[in-house]
């Protein structure tokens, strides 16, 4: 009797573990850590920024910017170990009612804290718009890495890295301690060209037809009801 009870407890424990393993995301077991540093995302994590202010037509059309981490991996390059990240970047256009892919599974950055190396691809720069960083955040390392990409200068103010284009244009990245740019703002001659803010709420995508969608739906339902009633009357007559 005791043996049967022990077997039952064993199988119940095994079943609970199996259920937990099935429902627990695989990515949760694979946080990519390099030395003391961690990239603030896992594979397939999505981050969305909302356009809260834009004064140029190119940016006024964009409602949301979505960054998806598509791959995170350690790899050896020139006998040195680096943390590599790939990403997909998409824009949601308010007049097209759709996400448009700008870059898909592209190389975003490489990092090695020991070597004090942080580097982005041309795609990753996105004209100075940078989204995620390894933690703990090293603002000077970020500034120096971006400077190597062609910017004239940079400055640091609290949690903000300010990139100077040298033509009265700056991009200000407000980076929180978790390694996420909470605000990305481009300013030219004192005027905001665009300002993107991290959106932590669920994004409700707009539906084509705008305010007329509900009217179209009601008319369609009423039409179906009328057609059905006519068919029923015809059947009774026969």
Q: Taking the CA atoms of the chain, what radius of gyration do you get in angstroms?
A: 26
Residue 234 confidence (pLDDT):
60
CA atoms within 13 A on the CB side of 181: 25
Torsion angle, CA of 200/205/206/208, rounded to 10 degrees?
170
Residue 149 confidence (pLDDT):
72
Output the tens digit of pLDDT for each of the chain's 238 residues: 544 444 554 444 443 433 333 333 333 334 455 556 889 999 999 999 999 999 999 899 999 999 999 999 988 877 888 999 999 999 999 887 888 878 899 999 999 988 888 988 777 777 778 999 999 999 999 999 888 877 778 999 999 999 998 889 999 999 999 999 999 999 999 999 999 999 988 655 554 444 433 443 344 445 555 545 565 556 655 5
Specify burial of residue 9 (Cβ count, 10 A radius: 0-12, 13-18, 19+): exposed
CA angle 189, 193, 194 (to 5 degrees): 145
Backbone dihedral angles phi then psi of residue 209, each to the nearest 5 degrees:
85, -10
Q: For the chain, which residues make up each domain, given as ranges? A: 31-210
| 66-84 residues labelled b (16+ CB within 10 A) or e (exposed) | bbbbbebeeeeeeeeebbb
pTM of the model: 0.71
Helix (H, G, I), strand (E, B), or coil: what is residue 191?
strand
Residue 52 confidence (pLDDT):
96
Q: Which residue has the tokens 């369609």?
A: 220
């Amino acid at each position: 009797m005791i043996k049967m009870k022990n077997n039952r407890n064993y199988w119940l424990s095994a079943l609970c573990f199996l259920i937990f393993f099935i429902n627990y995301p695989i990515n949760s077991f694979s946080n990519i850590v390099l030395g003391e540093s961690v990239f603030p995302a896992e594979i397939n994590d999505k981050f969305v920024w909302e356009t809260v202010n834009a004064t140029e037509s190119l940016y006024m059309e964009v409602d949301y910017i979505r960054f998806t981490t598509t791959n995170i991996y350690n790899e050896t390059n020139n006998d040195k170990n680096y943390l590599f990240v790939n990403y997909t970047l998409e824009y949601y256009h308010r007049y097209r009612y759709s996400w448009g892919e700008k870059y898909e599974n592209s190389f975003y950055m490489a990092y090695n804290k020991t070597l004090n190396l942080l580097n982005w691809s041309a795609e990753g720069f996105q004209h100075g718009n940078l989204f995620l960083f390894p933690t703990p955040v090293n603002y000077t390392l970020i500034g120096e890495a971006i400077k190597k990409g062609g910017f004239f200068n940079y400055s640091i103010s609290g949690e903000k890295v300010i990139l100077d284009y040298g033509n009265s244009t700056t991009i200000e990245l407000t980076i929180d301690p978790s390694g996420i740019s909470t605000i990305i703002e481009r300013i030219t001659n004192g005027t905001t060209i665009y300002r993107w803010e991290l959106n932590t709420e669920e994004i409700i995508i707009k539906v084509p037809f705008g305010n007329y969608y509900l009217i179209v739906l009601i008319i369609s339902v009423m039409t179906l009801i009328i057609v059905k009633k006519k068919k029923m009357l015809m059947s009774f007559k026969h």
